Amino acid sequence: MFLLQSLVVLLALGTVAPAELDWWQNAVFYQIYPRSFKDSDNDGTGDLRGVIQKLDHLVETGVTALWLSPIYPSPQVDFGYDISDFTGVDPLFGDMGDFMELTRKAKAKGLRIILDFVPNHSSDQHEWFKKSENSEPGYEDFYVWKDGEPGTPPNSWTSYFHGPAWTWSTKRNQWYFHQFASAQPDLNYRNPKVVQEMKKVLTYWLDLGVDGFRVDIITALFEDVNYPNGPLDQYAYTSDQPETYDMVYQWRILLDEYQKRNGGDTRVMMTESYADADKLFGYYGNSTHNGAHFSFNFWFITQLNRDSTAKDIKGVIDKWFRNMPEHYTANWVLGNHDQHRVATRYGPGRVDGLNMIAMLLPGVVVTYNGEEIGMENGEVSWEEGWDPQGCNGNKEDWYKNSRDFERTPYQWDGSANAGFNEGHKTWLPVSEQYKTLNLALQRTSTLKSHYRVYQELVKLRQTETLKLGKLRTIVLQNNVLVIIRELENEPAYVAVVNVGGSFASVDLSHIASKFVVQVPSVQSEKIPKSTIDGSAIYLVGFESVVLATVKE
């Protein structure tokens, strides 16, 4: 059998006892998109009380922390990412009492709370912007304003949501800059008062008991100070500027000093960046400054697809560890509210295998709500769509640009509206698949299910081997990826993932002569806790299995 290659990643190993991991370094962060998670009051939109109602589900699933997408007051032009008050709760989701109850009950159940922090911009309805647009003293430079003539923007930059990145203010007779919708003006971080106010926002939520922040679109925080006309790739001027890294380092200092003053566990910061490796790892820090505890690794999203081979997947894993300095913590993100569902992007048959890969790799796992049951993209028509990224474009590019498909309501059960609410029209349509693809079915079924596989994988992550063991990755027969985790005096765990749709047979006797089946995928006929021969492991198309070595 042809062995393409293997890589040993030097993590804590051998006779030297590894250092204890901090709480977040092996965590499973579960992203909740509140609008679509659970509607407690039957108004068609999910809310905080809905999250409270489902805390036991999160405990049962085994996740470490829940990360809430924006819950702040907002005109909802961009579904809460246009914030009109950074220190409140939008009535759409409840009130501050609901948030405090959620925090208290989540912590009582051993769950951590992570909030979305959206520092790049506010809503144009925020008091700061209103004052800035009126040139009120102290607020003149809270946002990025430039002189010019009506109809002629200061430069050629375009927004992520199509059209110019500049909007003319008739009140101020100047242009203001916005990397997203015109209702989302960019804050000016070259103004120390803005920096101070946003640090106050972080402290406010820390005082209310949050355990950390996911920092939205960190790359966009600063622009080239000269605002030149851009080449075809303007992002050289509008992304990952040197000052952005310094701002992240300042926020890390704030979090670390807060912990020193107030005690408790580490308050974690994770940053959203789709940058290349050389820029991405700058958000982790440098030789003199700590930055984010981790910056999202989106490479499974951006560099892989349903045609990717085992060799391609191994290449992405190897590339991450080649680039990541040894003292940093890796992380693995398969999906989020901005990307089509995992089952849609890679095919439903690969759901368990991808979860096995992510869960067996060292570091943090981030899961978007619904991926644990293998939800697929919902069916949303052009007329039913809300997302400005899709709606501001043309109908022909709707499917490619809109993010509505991955934001349809969570499929809890087979009742009306998939149990999301009691039957009231939902803000986005419930997927037509909900009667056969829902949590209740996967929880109660005697058959294998994506949810049961996910649960068992989360449990395995609590073993010493998966917390602290070394990593090897092997490709066999082009379509079989083998993930091996080993720690002295502990069982080794091996994920064998058939990425292809055809039968495969692999020989793993060079690892162990016998294995005990731990977690088989939904396609597998292998029985948990049964012993199999390591020299002849048979896999049907897309079958995956996690095995443990047997003590000889």
Can 39 be counted among the known catalytic residues?
Answer: no
The whole-angstrom separation of Cα 66 and Cα 37 is 12
- Report the C-alpha gap between 112 and 211 in whole angstroms: 6
Answer whether 46's CB lies under 8 Å from 38's CB: yes
| Alpha-carbon distance values, 401 to 8, 108, 388 (Å) | 39, 40, 9
Nearest alpha-carbon partner for 76 in 222, 184, 217, 225: 184
Residue type (1 letter), 500: G
CB neighbourhood size of 422 (10 A): 12
For 31-94, the three-class secondary structure string (H helix, E strand, C coil) is EECHHHHCCCCCCCCCCHHHHHHCHHHHHHHCCCEEEECCCCCCCCCCCCCCCCCCCCCCCCCC
Q: Is 216 a catalytic residue?
A: yes
Q: Which of 272, 371, 406, 486 is catalytic?
A: 272
CA distance 67 to 116: 7
Q: Name the DSSP class of 409.
A: P
Q: CB neighbours (10 Å) of residue 385?
A: 19
Asked if residue 257 lies in contact with residue 250, where contact means CB atoms within 8 angstroms, the answer is no
Angle of helix 242-262 versus helix 192-207 axis, rounded to 10: 40
492/485 Cα distance (integer angstroms): 6
Q: C-alpha distances in angstroms, 383 versus 398, 399, 401, 428, 433?
A: 11, 12, 15, 11, 20
Q: Report angle CA 131, 134, 139 to the nearest 5 degrees.
A: 45
Cβ pair 145, 172 in contact under 8 A: yes
Query: From the CB of residue 107, how many other CB atoms can be counted at a distance below 10 Å?
Result: 13
- CA nearest to 547, candidates 343, 300, 524, 364: 524
| C-alpha 113, offset from chain centre | 14
First to last CA, the chain: 25
Q: Which residue has the tokens 């979305």?
A: 116
Which one from 101, 216, 224, 413 is the annotated catalytic residue?
216
Cα distance between residue 545 and residue 48, in whole Å: 37
CB 463, CB 518: distance < 8 Å? no
- How far apart, in whole angstroms, are the C-alpha atoms of residue 32 and residue 38? 10
Of 86, 111, 115, 285, nearest to 206 by C-alpha is 115
Q: Of 29, 39, 115, 30, which Cα lies nearest the Cα of 70?
A: 115
CB atoms within 10 A of CB 104: 13
Separation of alpha carbons 9 and 202, rounded Å: 36
Q: Where in the sequence numbering do the catalytic residues fall?
A: 216, 272
